[in-house]
């Protein structure tokens, strides 16, 4: 099926885009990579009357290093993230998440901002921005604001963005130099949304105890979760196999996954526990390797 009739708008600046959003409110949708929105429109799950294509707005597609941060324009494609040496060097879990999305065609078109704003409960980027404590820079008629990742996701397919607000940039603070991270995902088939996914960044102090920790999980609930309970469990402790098991138990108890074609809720909880334990062990291994090199 073709999408229902819509009007195609192509602003050339952010302010113009915001004006259009103001005019059309809930009747409008922004078109980023279109990899989820367009199929939803074809199925008529989404029926925007106005489609605002933001491809013509310059300077929304970049990966920059700036003052101890990596700043990615919202229109940065998955493939650019996957192939960025800066990101691979500083926050490899972001590369890993990008390369686990869809297939090459999807990664060529799909964008970081689009993936985050879609807020699929099983999306890959959500776990990563939560683990890395990223910040979402947004612009609206009321000016600019920064939303911490932990406050960004509000419900399935819903974010803290107002209807006239645009996500323009995602800011990743450099993780501590003594830390390492990983994104792991269990999937039915390569490139599918996750059955369960976990992003873990662990820093090790002098004595080998966990000095910094960030944990985000996907597939655990209606929104990607920052696993605060796991973070506080690990913080300041020497990470032992027993502690990792305890983390697995904690996440399994707290998870409330949605049952869907990817699995039953009870299975997803157990799968999440396994993936999280593995991600902790792997980021610990990477952090230790870093320390001894």
Partner 1 sequence: MSYQIVGQSIPRTDNTGKVTGDTRYTSDVLLPGTLWAKTLRSPYAHAQITRIDTSRAEKAPGVRAVLTGADARGILYGRRYRDITVLAQDRVRFMGERVAAVAADTLEEAEEALELIEVNYQELPAVLDPVAALQEGAPIIHPDVNSYPGLPKPLESPSNAFVRDVWTRGDIAEGFARSDLVVENTFTVPRVHQAFLEPHCCLVWIDDQNRVQMWSPNKVPHGLKESMSAAFAIPAERIRVNPVAIGGDFGGKGAPVDEPICYLLALRSGRPVKMVMEYREEFVAGAPRHAALLQLKTGVKKDGTIVAHEMDAYLDSGAYGGFRPGAVVGGIAHAGGCYRAQHARISVSRVYTNNIPGGQMRAPGEPQGFFAAESHMDCVARKLGMDPLDFRLKNLIEEGESTLTGGHYRAIKAKETLKAAAKAAGYDTPKARNVGRGIAMGYRGPGAGNTSLKIALNPDGSVVIQTSLFEQGTGTYTTLRQIAAEELPCDPDEIQIEILDTDAGVAFDSGIGGSRGTRVASGAAFQAARAAKEELLGLAEKLLGWPKTETVFMGRDLIHKKTRKRQPWDDLLSRAGRSIVGESVNRDDDHSPVTAFAAQVAEVFVDTETGEVKLRCLTTAHDTGAIMNPVGHQGQIDGGVVQGVGYGLIEHLPVQEGRVGTAHFGEYKIPTVKDIPELKTVLVKGDDGVGPYKTKGIGENPISPVAPAIANAIEDAVGVRIRDLPITAEKIYAAMRER
Considering only residues 23 to 42 of the shown chain, the ones binding partner 1 according to CB under 8 A are 39, 42
What is the residue whose two structure tokens read 């952090």? 287
Binds partner 1 by CB under 8 A, chosen from 27, 50, 274, 288: 274
Binding map of partner 1 across residues 132-171, x = CB under 8 A, - = no contact:
----------------------------------------
Query: Left if phi > 0, otherwise alpha if psi is -120 to 50, otherwise beta: which for 282?
Result: alpha
Torsion of CA 140, 109, 257, 157, to 10 degrees: 30
189 binds partner 1 (CB under 8 A): yes
Candidates 50-58, 136-144, 184-192, 214-222; binding stretch for partner 1 (CB under 8 A) = 184-192
Tell me the site size for partner 1, rule CB under 8 A.
24
Residue from 16, 27, 176, 192 in contact with partner 1 (CB under 8 A): 192
SS (HEC) of the chain: CCCCCCEEECCCCHHHHHHHHHHHHHHEEEECCCCCHHHHHHCCCCCCCEEEECCCCCCCCCEEEECCEEEEECCCEHHHHHHCHHHHHHCHHHHHHHHCCCCHHHHHHCEHHHHHHHCCCCCCHHHHHHHCCCEEEEEECCEEEEEEHHHHEEECCEECCCCCCEEEEEEEECCCCCEEEEEEEECCCCCCCCCEEEEEEEEECCCCCEEEEEEEEECCCCCCEECHHHHHHHCCCCCCHHHHHHHHHHHHHHCCCCCECCECHHHHHHHHHHHHHHHHHHHHHHHHHHHHC
- Rank residues 116 and 275 by Cβ distance to partner 1 and give the closer one: 275
Near partner 1 by CB under 8 A: residue from 249, 270, 290, 291:
270
**Measured from the CB atom, is 63 or 184 closer to partner 1?**
184
Q: Which stretch binds partner 1 (CB under 8 A): 75-83, 162-170, 249-257, 265-273?
A: 265-273
Cα angle for residues 203, 119, 258 (degrees, 5° grid): 90
Instruction: By CB under 8 A, tell whether 186 contacts partner 1.
Output: yes
230 C-beta neighbours (distance < 10 Å), count: 28
For residues 40-59, which are near partner 1 according to CB under 8 A? 42-43
Binding of partner 1 at residue 242 (CB under 8 A)?
no
Contact (CB, 8 A) for 124 and 185? yes
Nearer Cβ to partner 1 (21/220) = 220
Determine which residue in the list 142, 188, 237, 238 makes contact with partner 1, applying CB under 8 A. 188
Of 177, 206, 261, 292, which lies in the binding site for partner 1, with binding defined by CB under 8 A? 261
What is the closest distance, in whole angstroms, from the C-beta atom of residue 161 to partner 1 in the complex?
Answer: 24
Stretch that binds partner 1, among 47-55, 82-90, 197-205, 269-277 (CB under 8 A): 269-277
Judged by beta carbon, residue 78 or residue 277, the one nearer partner 1 is: 277
Q: Using the rule CB under 8 A, is 8 a contact of partner 1?
A: no
Enumerate residues 83-112 that contact partner 1 by CB under 8 A.
Answer: 103
The residues binding partner 1 (CB under 8 A) are 1-2, 5, 39, 42-43, 103, 186, 188-192, 195, 261, 263-264, 267, 270-271, 274-275, 277-278
């Amino acid at each position: 099926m073709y999408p229902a009739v819509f009007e195609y708008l192509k602003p050339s600046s952010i302010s113009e885009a915001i004006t259009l959003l103001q005019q059309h409110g809930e009747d409008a949708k922004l078109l980023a990579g279109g990899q989820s929105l367009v199929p939803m429109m074809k199925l008529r799950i989404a029926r925007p009357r106005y489609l605002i294509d933001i491809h013509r707005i310059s300077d929304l597609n970049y990966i920059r290093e700036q003052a101890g941060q990596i700043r990615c324009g919202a229109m940065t494609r998955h493939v650019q993230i996957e192939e960025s040496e800066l990101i691979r060097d500083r926050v490899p879990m972001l590369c890993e998440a990008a390369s686990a999305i869809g297939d090459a065609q999807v990664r060529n078109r799909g964008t970081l901002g689009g993936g985050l704003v879609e807020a699929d409960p099983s999306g890959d980027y959500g776990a990563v921005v939560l683990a890395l404590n990223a910040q979402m820079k947004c612009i609206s008629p009321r000016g600019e604001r920064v939303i911490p990742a932990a406050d960004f996701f509000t419900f399935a397919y819903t974010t803290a963005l107002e209807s006239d607000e645009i996500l323009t940039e995602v800011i990743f603070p450099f993780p501590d130099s003594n830390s390492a991270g990983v994104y792991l995902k269990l999937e039915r088939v390569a490139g599918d949304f996750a059955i369960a996914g976990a992003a873990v960044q662990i820093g090790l102090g002098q004595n080998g105890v966990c000095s910094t920790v960030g944990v985000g999980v996907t597939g655990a609930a209606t929104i990607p979760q920052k696993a605060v309970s796991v973070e506080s469990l690990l913080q300041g402790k020497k990470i032992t196999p027993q502690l990792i098991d305890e983390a697995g138990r904690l996440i399994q108890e707290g998870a409330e996954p949605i049952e869907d074609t990817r699995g039953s809720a009870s299975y997803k909880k157990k799968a999440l526990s396994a993936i999280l334990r593995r991600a902790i062990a792997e980021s610990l291994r990477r952090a230790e390797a870093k320390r001894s090199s």
